[in-house]
Chains A and B, each alone.
Chain A
Amino acid sequence: MEILVNLDVMMAKRKISLTELAQRIDISPANLSILKNNKARAIRFSTLMALCHELQCQPGDILEFIDD
């Protein structure tokens, strides 16, 4: 049972690089990389809001619940 982060899929759809997205939402590329590689333990609402705003998507497009 886990939450999968599909940020890489959304980034590919919007044709945006990690560095550029990190700049636009004002977080470090290292932190965004943690999120993209499913290493994050938690995500702030402000980060999720900024991501949804920049990628023009819904939270459900980025986060996916995987049940065992």
Chain B
Amino acid sequence: MNWSRDKSIVLSQFCVCAFGLLLAVLDVFGYWLVGFFIRLRSMNWQLGAVILAAVYVCSVFAWIVLWRMWKLLGNIKAGRVFIPENISHMRAVSWCCAAVALVCLLASLAYLPFFICAMASAFMALIVRIVKNAFQQALLMKDELDFTV
């Protein structure tokens, strides 16, 4: 059994679905969850509004990231690994992570713990960007190899 080929992609797809479900729950119950959080921490409603806005703006980017990752995994599963479409998916994921980092950085001006999310997201954007660069190089190599007789 080839674990990497047969099960790993299915596991990744399952994780993407699980994150999608969690994100849907956050989108539906976000208002109440943030309300509960600000009551718990005795914060004012203005701060709650900033947190809620940051969560919903980030949620839009998170949906884009999940959709792009789903498409990317589908391509990898079908054996289409080094294709321009996958590089475009990774570029989109990287930019979405960078956008989330920016949103969190702005939100951290109001609520400092968002700074941790901003740093984590910026780091994620950097990692995905480097992997995208490696894929881009591999695509060139594959192109060269395809035309080697």
Contacts and interface: CB of A to CB of B under 8 A. Distances in A.
Given A41-B143, A41-B144, A42-B148, 11 more contacts: A31-B149, A32-B149, A34-B147, A34-B149, A39-B147, A40-B149, A41-B148, A42-B144, A42-B149, A43-B149, A44-B148
A18 interface: no
Interface in B131-149: 143-144, 147-149
A27 B149 CA distance: 8
Nearest to A27: B149
Main SS of chain B's interface residues? mixed
A51 to B, nearest CB: 9
Contacts of A40: 147-149
A9 B55 CA distance: 68
Interface residues of A, number: 12
A60 B148 CA distance: 19
Contacts of B149: 27, 31-32, 34-35, 40, 42-44, 47
Interface in A5-57: 27, 31-32, 34-35, 39-44, 47
B148 to A, nearest CB: 4
Nearest to A51: B149
